[in-house]
Chains A and B, each alone.
Chain A
Amino acid sequence: MTKLRLLLVLMTLLVLGAIGYSFLMDVGKVEKKELVKQIVATPEVQERKIMGLPAGVKKEAKDINVQNSESDDWEEKLVAALKIQGGDTVEKIEIKKVASLIWVQNDTGINVESVIVTIKGKDNKEAMFKALVDSQTGKILETWDRPIQDPTNPKKGYRLKVDPRYFNQ
């Protein structure tokens, strides 16, 4: 049993070393704090899929007047926006890209990115939801599949207090 445990410890150290080396080689410019445990599979996108077309209407991307361009840093802008909104309550943000799309509205289109966002708070709170993001500006255009939270006691949920000055004027 003791030998087995020793073997386990050695194997674990070996594994951790290999992982660390792999990360350092791949993401050398990133601080160690920013390492993520989860593997993200971003699908290879050959051509943007089209969303918002009327039923039965088929179009290809080349047929659509797309208004915006594609930017390499949309994801960084998205994370920046989420940091601004969440402030110091946010501990981690994870972005998983789902697809690159063209959102058609009234005969014109916008390049958008469909993503799954996971926000982790400092008090063990977590929210996961999907978002549609402008491929150029990183602007959040819509969110859906939002979490449904059931607190132990509804009366302990987040509330806005009435400013007492409204009743003392």
Chain B
Amino acid sequence: MNMVRQWMIKPIALLPIAALAVLVSCNITELSPSASSGQIAYDSSYANRAFIYPESPALLAGAGYGNKIDISSFIDKRNPQFITDSSQLKSDCGMEFNYYYIPYRTDAVKTDCVQSYGVKGALEPLPTRQADGTWIYAAGSREFYQVNALYHLNKGISTFFDKMTFAYKKLHGGTSLLNVPKNIPSYLKSSNMWWFKGVSSDNSQLFKNDFLTSYATCENFDNAQFSPAGPELCFGSDPTHPNFYYVQDPSVIYHELGHAFVAVMMNLRNGTTASDTTTFRSNLVSHGYNESASLNEGLADYFSYVMNGRTHIGEWALGRFSDASRPMSESDPMHIPGIDTTSEGRLSYPQYLLYDPNDPDHPYEDIHYAGQIVGHYLVALTESLRNKCTPEAGMSAQDTATSYVMMLIAESLSEVGDLRSVGLDYATSPFYPAPTSNYYFTNLDPASSYTWATLVNPTSYRRFFQTMGKNIKKFIASSGSGNFCSAFSMTDSERLLDDYGLLLFRSYNDNGNSTKSATTFYKNAISSMPTASLTNVTEANRRKSILMSKSLLSLATVTSDRPSYFIIDDAQSMSGYLSNLLFKGIATTLSSNVSGTQYNNNNIKISPGEVVGIIPNLYNSSNSTMAGIHILANDFDHMIYDTITGYYKPCVIDTTTTTDQGAIAPLPTNDCGSTMTEYKKYTRSIAGGPYPTQAAQPICMVQMDGVDSSRWVSQNEYRKKQGLALLDKDCLGYSNTGSYSDQDFTFNPNECLIRVLPGSADANFSKIAPQKSYIETIRSSTTNVIFNPGNAFVIEVNKWIPPGTKFRCRLRARFTNCTDCYTDTENTLFPTDDFIDSEYNGAKPFKIINFDFTVND
């Protein structure tokens, strides 16, 4: 392996590079004559313009188009389009901020916010304007695609900021919504979060570059991608089809740009000023299947619709050679019979989660297919608003409708992505964020918000559409404060959500209770806020969105063709899994001194030293499809610290681990009876000291034999008492690869023997059919039985564990269409109110799945 490190280069070394760059850029047409505009002389009316392909070649070519790809035949040579007036291939971004406090209305501009390159890593300079003042390059040349990419990127960015300007003005431009909690913050201009933070020069180090980079002809095969860390867009190609590039399809450019906009909208609240930003940034991502990433795909598809008004995406880039284009309306002829625009025929959740319209006989668990439900719903919502709402002044009905929906999306994403955890905006000044006290209304608190937003309580279909529904109620529908569209009622909203099976909640959780206390409301934070009230969904509007109890979910009992869980322990598969994880952006430090894939023996059992993938085979005992199943294997509040012994002991949280087996019963006098409102991790108070009482603890306990009986104890107690004599350095998770002698303070001795790998501490399953296990659901619908990588979580097994040692790991499971996973149905006063976030630090919202295993010899 050829590893590369970065090294500082003396400034003087840059001089010859700069000289070369200047030399090359001064005469680029001589170096690349094929890319020049040729012999035609263009007059000044062509200045800053170029010929572009305005639409997908699939549409322009028609059905009878052959296999040869001739991009020049798709260019509109009658109407050269404006590209940029910069001398290089880059453009500015801008947004208006209309605030009610006259004359506070300003425009914000980011210079050179987007730049269009060709091949990534080629160190090529940005193309410069042609000598004749145009951007006309030879069709099919790299520069030609860079020019076309920038044209469509500019178009998309301009549209996005038109929508954002509209949203800001509607929410902050008047006085009618002053005392209504909002999430798009009034201080958005001063925070610079309206574009990628870091575009401002004072924070450029937050990203790799201080602009959005596009690579039109990325050397990335069979793939297009958005990397928020750049931020970068990369449009790849298919090497088996010469002259075929993703960038040839504008709908795919808009889709990838849509991912960039989701990243922007998720972080609108994650900075207040240029110097006050959260370190982490929110996004909707996954390394395999999950609902967050599915939402992102659906939202990105929808943005393509906003741009071109077409209810289909990727006819060229995805459909021409791969049969993978996607519809966004039930009226699309690609759909199977039975799917139509009636209430009964909508592409509903969870029925169509695995639906591949190109190959409907082979359902498949993937975020792009699951995201189609989101895209279809958003298009249907847009069409409904277009038909019902009075157009805004100077806007068409379609523009009005898409602007409303984009406002709802921005408002919803900024709430679920809020890592400062405040979740509402102070209404009396654009300069001061509020509340300034420690009132948190989303994602627990600033210390743990990233863990909550991405792992513990991530954005599921339920959370997103509940938030969307709340915002429709608040701003759009006739019953709300905004009343932007009096003809659109909450009945319309709820029935449309229900048509798509997305009425997955019983209330809008609009009482704004804090993440720490159910009795603290917005009004406690800001006195001008209205008194809290909870709005329930009208149950009569629920026809398709079936909810069920978490008690109906369990681990499957073993039969001849159905295990309770699958173990993946062959070295090749696990090496591939870990590599895939890394290339999905999840890096983790393996305990390579006491565990590794080299110990994997492929006996589909858990053996000392192995790195093992675990896929629980869950069973749905209800008569309806269960969907969005999420299993957590991360640390949580299920043990308490015993000050007498100095070890953690398990609490009784279900009927499986009893007091006879060493668990502590919950009592008013001990911490087992309550859930911590803080998520404590990495928090030893003094060097070498214990973790705080009731700190979140790893999920796996170990069975220790006593004189008369055995009991479940912490891994730390077992390694100290059972004669293992394992030092910290012999434990999993202890970093001792260096020469220093200091202690590893992020090490938890309660994961000394079995450690859930950070970054792979949860598993997601799209759906489980009624009266079936997950594998039975998947097997009935696919020819090859394979797992999505998102189905597995990973454990490391210490090589020093004696064979025969028994472990119990407390997995926490819940699912999206669940009645009691999100609301406390035992609360007689507010049975439809959502749990406060700190409850997710414990067991109550979850079905506990006890994963018992014995370490094999």
- Residues on A lying within 8 angstroms of B by beta carbon are 1, 4, 8, 11-12, 14-15, 18-19, 22-23, 25-27, 30, 33-43, 51-57, 65, 67-69, 71, 73, 75, 77, 79-96, 98-99, 101, 103-108, 110, 114, 116-119, 121, 123-132, 134, 136-163, 165-167, 169
Residue contact A89 to B223, C-beta cutoff 8 Å: no
Evaluate contact between A90 and B222: CB separation under 8 angstroms: no
Assess the A154–B1 pair: CB atoms within 8 A: no
Question: Contact at B590–A98, with CB atoms within 8 Å?
Answer: no
Q: Are B17 and A85 in contact (CB under 8 A)?
A: no
Is the Cβ of A85 less than 8 Å from the Cβ of B579? yes
> Which residue of chain B has the shortest Cβ distance to A80 in the bound complex?
B737
A41 to B366, CA, bound (A): 39
Contact bitstring B578-618, A, C-beta under 8 A = 1, else 0: 11111111111110100010000000100000000101000
- Of B283, B356, B582, most buried by chain A (CB within 10 Å of CB) is B582
Please judge, given known A-B contacts A8-B23, A18-B16, A22-B12, whether A125 and B583 are in contact too, CB under 8 Å: yes
The one of A43, A94, A126, A128 in contact with B205, judged by C-beta atoms closer than 8 angstroms, is A43
**Does B735 lie within 8 Å of A154, measured CB to CB?**
no
Are A81 and B590 in contact, with the CB atoms below 8 A?
yes
B295-329 near A? 1/0 per residue, CB < 8 Å = 01100000000000000000001100111100000
Give me the 9 closest cross-chain CB pairs, A-B, nearest first: A146-B585, A129-B585, A137-B735, A22-B13, A15-B16, A154-B366, A67-B745, A160-B787, A162-B785
Docked Cα-Cα span, A133 to B318, in Å, equals 38
B583→A127 contact, CB < 8 A: yes
| Complex CA distance for A166 and B121, rounded to whole angstroms | 45
Contact of B17 among A19, A40, A127, A131 (CB under 8 A): A19
Quick check: is B120 within 8 A (CB to CB) of the other chain? yes
Shortest CB-to-CB span from A115 to chain B, Å, is: 10
Does B846 reach chain A (CB closer than 8 Å)?
A: no
Report whether B280 and A144 are in contact in the complex, using a CB–CB cutoff of 8 Å.
yes
Interchain CA distance A92-B4 in the complex, whole Å: 6
Q: How far is the CB of A164 from chain B (nearest CB, A)?
A: 9
What separation, in Å, do the CA atoms of A18 and B14 have in the docked complex? 10
Say if the beta carbon of B9 comes within 8 Å of chain A.
Answer: yes
- Chain A contacts for B223, CB-based, 8 A: 149-152
User: What are 9 pairs between A and B in contact, CB < 8 Å?
Assistant: A18-B15, A19-B13, A123-B221, A140-B588, A140-B759, A143-B759, A145-B229, A148-B225, A155-B366
Is there a chain A Cβ closer than 8 Å to B227's Cβ? Answer: yes
Complex Cα spacing A162 to B786, Å:
5
Q: Which chain B residues have a beta carbon within 8 Å of chain A's beta carbons?
A: 1-10, 12-17, 19-20, 23, 27, 30, 120-121, 123, 205-208, 219-230, 232, 234, 238, 246, 252, 255-256, 259, 263, 278-281, 283, 285, 287, 293, 296-297, 317-318, 321-324, 356, 359, 364, 366-369, 420-422, 435-438, 445-448, 450, 454, 560-561, 563, 566, 568, 570, 573, 575-590, 592, 596, 604, 613, 615, 678, 680-687, 692, 735, 737-740, 742, 744-746, 758-759, 775, 784-789, 791-792
Tell me, in angstroms, the Cα distance from A79 to B234 when the chains sit together.
Answer: 25
Give the Cβ gap from B260 to chain A, nearest Cβ, in Å.
9
Contact A144 B281 (CB under 8 A): yes
Complex Cα–Cα for A139 and B738 (A): 11
Q: Bound complex: CA of A65 vs CA of B121, how far in Å?
A: 43
> Which residues of chain B are near A94, meaning CB under 8 Å?
4, 6
A87 x B578 contact (CB < 8 A): yes
Whole-angstrom distance between the alpha carbons of A157 and B578 in the complex?
A: 15
Inter-chain contact B323/A130, CB cutoff 8 Å = no
Inter-chain contact A82/B587, CB cutoff 8 Å: yes
Residue of B13, B208, B256, B759 near A116 (CB, 8 A) is B208
A34's contact among B5, B238, B367, B788, by CB below 8 Å, is which?
A: B5
Contact B447 A153 (CB under 8 A): no
Whether A152 and B317, one on each chain, are in contact in the complex, defined by CB atoms closer than 8 angstroms, is yes
Chain B nearest CB: distance from A121 CB in Å? 6
Known contacts A37-B123, A162-B785; is A18 also within 8 Å of B205 by CB?
no
The secondary-structure label for the interface of chain B is: loop
Whether B681 pairs with A105 at a CB distance below 8 angstroms is yes
Residue numbers in B under 8 Å from A23 (CB-CB): 7, 9, 13
Q: A105, B683: Cβ atoms under 8 Å?
A: yes
Interchain nearest-CB distance for B578 vs A (Å): 5
Whether the Cβ atoms of A15 and B17 lie closer than 8 Å is: yes
Is A149 a contact partner of B20 (Cβ separation < 8 A)?
A: no
Which B residue's beta carbon lies closest to that of A88?
A: B1
User: In the complex, what residues of A have CB within 8 A of residue B123's CB?
Assistant: 37
- The answer for the CA separation of A93 and B582 in the assembled complex, in Å, is 11
Contacts A152-B324, A155-B366, A161-B573 hold; do A52 and B446 have CB atoms under 8 A apart?
A: yes
Alpha-carbon distance between A166 and B559 when the two chains are bound, in angstroms: 10
**Contacts beyond the supplied A140-B759, A147-B227: 5 A-B pairs with Cβ under 8 Å:** A26-B10, A39-B8, A40-B8, A121-B583, A137-B735
A158 touches B789 (CB 8 A): yes
Residues of A within 8 A of B356 (CB): 155
Q: Is the CB of B446 within 8 A of A160?
A: no
Q: Is the CB of B744 within 8 A of A137?
A: yes
DSSP class of A's interface residues: helix, strand, loop or mixed?
mixed
A139 touches B208 (CB 8 A): no
**Chain A residue at minimal CB-CB distance from B296:** A148
Q: Is the CB of B285 within 8 A of A148?
A: yes
Complex CA gap A39/B246 in Å reads: 30
B585 x A108 contact (CB < 8 A)? no
Q: What chain A residues lie within 8 Å of B238 (beta carbons)?
A: 152
Checking B226, B255, B566, B740 against A166 with a beta-carbon cut-off of 8 angstroms, the contacting residue is B566
Question: In the bound complex, how far is the Cα of B4 from the Cα of A14, in angstroms?
Answer: 25
A15 and B20 contact, CB distance less than 8 A:
yes
Q: Complex Cα distance A160/B614, Å?
A: 11
- Is A39 a contact of B438 with CB atoms below 8 Å? no
Residue in B9, B287, B576, B791 whose CB lies within 8 Å of A26: B9
Residues of B within 8 A of A129 (CB): 227, 229, 585-587
Q: Once the chains bind, are A130 and B229 in contact (CB under 8 Å)?
A: yes
Interface centre among B293, B366, B448 (most CB of A within 10 A): B366
- A22-B10 in contact (CB<8A): yes
User: Taking CB as reference atom, which chain B residue is nearest A131?
Assistant: B587
Which of A12, A90, A101, A169 is the one whose CB lies under 8 Å from B279?
A101
Bound-complex Cα distance A84 to B579 (A)? 9
B447 x A105 contact (CB < 8 A): yes
Q: Are A125 and B256 in contact (CB under 8 A)?
A: no
Q: Is the CB of B683 within 8 A of A55?
A: no
How far apart are the CA atoms of A51 and B7 in the complex, in Å? 27
- B422 A159 Cβ-Cβ under 8 A: no
The CA of A39 and the CA of B581, in the complex, are separated in Å by: 27
In angstroms, Cα B685 to Cα A65, docked, is 8
CB distance from B836 to the nearest CB of A (A): 17
Contact between B446 and A54, CB atoms less than 8 A apart: yes
Q: Which residues of B contact A77 (CB under 8 A)?
A: 735, 737-738
The closest CB in chain A to the CB of B759 belongs to A143
Q: Of the candidates B283, B566, B583, which one forms a contact with A145 in the assembled complex, judged by CB atoms under 8 Å apart?
A: B283
A61 CB to nearest B CB, Å: 15
Given the known interface contacts A73-B738, A148-B259, the answer about A128 and B787 at a Cβ–Cβ threshold of 8 Å is no
Neighbouring A residues of B680 by C-beta, 8 Å:
105-106
B786–A138 CB distance below 8 A: no
CA distance A149 to B683 in the complex (A): 35
Contacts of A140 in B (CB 8 A): 587-589, 758-759
Cα distance, A98 to B7, chains bound together (Å):
15
Inter-chain contacts of A124 with B (CB < 8 A) = 219-221
Q: A73: nearest residue on chain B (CB-CB)?
A: B738
Residue from the set A27, A127, A153, A165 with the largest chain B CB neighbour count within 10 Å: A153
Chain A residues, CB < 8 A from B27: 4
What's the Cα separation between A38 and B278 when bound, in Å?
27
Q: Quick check: B738 and A108 within 8 Å, CB to CB?
A: no
Q: Are A110 and B787 within 8 A (Cβ)?
A: no
Knowing A94-B4, A155-B366, A160-B786, the reply to whether A106 touches B587 (Cβ < 8 A) is no
A15-B20, A93-B3 known; A138 and B14 CB under 8 Å? no
**With contacts A26-B8, A162-B787 known, is A134 near B746, CB below 8 A?**
yes
CB-based contact B20/A166 at 8 Å: no
Residue of A nearest to B13 (CB): A22
B306 CB to closest chain A CB (Å) equals 18
